[in-house]
Chains A and B, each alone.
Chain A
């Protein structure tokens, strides 16, 4: 409790400092229902491209692509993006392809990404990036903070894959940290904190210590991706309910399938006894915490997890209803 509490981006936009990696997105609603971007700033190595939704849409939104040069972040790259979504405005933030995190070149050259978002009343944010892909020996830390005003809605996907599997890299990163924190805008109270901390295990060769420590790769049980979907707000209530219902209808583990239509019954997938399951190779869970619904998805095949998330967002209706199907780019 020693550190100063973080502060939300100011409502009145100020140009970000002309420093590498700084950026600002400001979304505003022009009545009755047209979302505009009065401010969009960025500096290398960050790049932002905006696309307005087709004018025919009755309830318009803005899509911004967050790009990096060469599709990734190299050692010592720092990205600081601030976003303000004003009352009732709608913003969708996407990427084009996974964010590759390259090997750390020298000590202390951490690759960092910070996102600070202010969501005003009735504002809706969709954050559906492609997964982060930390390469071998990379050092990365990301913090995404969201300040919510009453009724602000958000759907945020944060996911990380094992690395360059084609080159045999599986969780060979040096360290990886990703945190998502949601605060109440008025009181500054922390509403939710979801953090994942991965660290390589130093090899203990020649160490007198006879404790054999399990490598990070081995700890992951062969899982290739970890995804967290955070859902909040009345605008996405149907999605939240759908996810909860879907989980409660998951087949019981270790039970017998007495249903007549057991067409997919039997077998084991990745060590999990599966009786009936639509998506194989996916391991997931849902929790409801302080007004949020969190879906955690992992799996032994990235494409299966992608497909699972896509189905969830389409069947949950809200996201596609608010932002159209184009926003599901990262899940294709």
Chain B
């Protein structure tokens, strides 16, 4: 039953992404026409494939790959604290829809103060990945959140190694990082935290800083909402409605603005209740998710 819902949600997501891709493609020649012609020709030769205007840039291509739910990160195993949050709240206090809508806001706000600054910094300085990984490890207190971060970060590294590496320029920064995960000395061993790996990988794929932040946020929003669908808080149609909603995009925009103003050393928890609820995930009698 859950699988059907998943497939449905996935199908819808793909359709949505495809339509976005089409509109983006449609806009491309239009935009360039407005610019002066001679400029337009050089512009196009840099940014699009040689075959013509119909194909997309490699950056957009990787954006779509990274936003795909089929990316094998195991994100479906994590609810980012949603499961424990709902268990801690009386069922009568709000409708399931209100519950998930509130949680989504709190979760994104928290993410913008704790995790997103690390994604952006890793994108800006891939060479500092090891230090960032260490600082993120020191700053992430909640055991459950740590587990989720390391698991997805390592999975993304594996995806890069096995799937993307052959199509992307070689990255010494990522190689050093990967080697540090296997360091014999436990003290110097890197953890492979998700935001750091994500930032570095997006940098290699040529995705811009803003788009990297947006992509990471979208991935988080999708993961939370898909957990909500599987927890039967909302149906797959409402999930898509929330994903498409202007309000959700505003939340994401706000989060990006906030995160851009926070240096990694100034990151911290802005919604302390979430840490508590998520930390108590371990105490759930029965649980579907890993976080």
Which of B106, B137, B143, B268 is within 8 Å of A195, CB to CB? B268
Query: B200 an interface residue at 8 Å Cβ cutoff?
Result: no
Choose the segment among A81-89, A290-298, A306-314, A320-328 that binds chain B (4+ C-beta atoms closer than 8 Å).
A290-298
Q: Which residues of A contact B271 (CB under 8 A)?
A: 219
Which residues of chain B have C-beta atoms less than 8 A from A284's C-beta? Answer: 276
- Chain A residues in 8 Å Cβ range of B285: 252-256
Identify which of A67-75, A90-98, A112-120, A220-228 touches chain B: A220-228
Contact flags (1/0) for B135-152 with A, using CB distance below 8 Å?
101111111001000000
CB pair A285 B251 closer than 8 Å: no
Question: Which of A1, A177, A196, A294 is most buried by chain B, counting CB atoms within 10 A of its CB?
Answer: A1
In the complex, which range does the number of interface residues on chain B fall in? 35 or more
> Does B270 interact with chain A (Cβ within 8 Å)?
yes
Main SS of chain B's interface residues? Answer: helix
What are the residues of chain A within 8 A of B272 when measuring CB–CB?
196, 198, 220, 226, 296, 298
Q: Does B134 contact A (CB under 8 A)?
A: yes
Contact between B275 and A296, CB atoms less than 8 A apart:
yes
Question: Is A194 in contact with chain B by the CB < 8 A criterion?
Answer: yes
User: Contact between B264 and A1 (Cβ–Cβ < 8 Å)?
Assistant: yes
CB-based nearest B residue for A194: B141
- Per-residue 0/1 for A1-21: is the Cβ within 8 Å of any B Cβ (1 yes, 0 no)? 111000000000000000000
| CB-contacts of B85-102 with A (<8 A) | 87-90, 93, 102
- Chain A hits for B276, CB < 8 A: 283-285, 296, 298
Given contacts A190-B135, A289-B146, contact A199 B270 (CB under 8 A): yes
Cα separation A192 to B87 with both chains bound (whole Å) = 29
Kindly supply a per-residue 1/0 record for chain A positions 252-286, scoring 1 wherever the CB is within 8 Å of any chain B CB and 0 otherwise.
11111000000000001001110000000001111
Are A196 and B284 in touch, CB under 8 angstroms? no
Decide if A1 touches B131 in the complex (CB within 8 Å): yes
Interface on A for B, CB 8 Å cutoff? 1-3, 177, 179, 189-199, 209-211, 214, 219-221, 223, 226, 247, 250-256, 268, 271-273, 283-290, 294, 296, 298
Q: Lowest 4 CB-CB distances: which A-B pairs, in order? A: A195-B268, A255-B285, A285-B279, A252-B285
- Known pairs A197-B270, A219-B273, A220-B273; list 11 more (Cβ under 8 Å): A1-B121, A177-B268, A193-B139, A196-B269, A219-B271, A253-B283, A268-B90, A271-B88, A271-B90, A287-B279, A289-B138
Tell me the B residues contacting A by CB distance below 8 Å: 84, 87-90, 93, 102, 105-106, 113, 121, 125, 128, 131-132, 134-135, 137-143, 146, 247, 250-251, 263-265, 267-273, 275-276, 279-280, 282-286
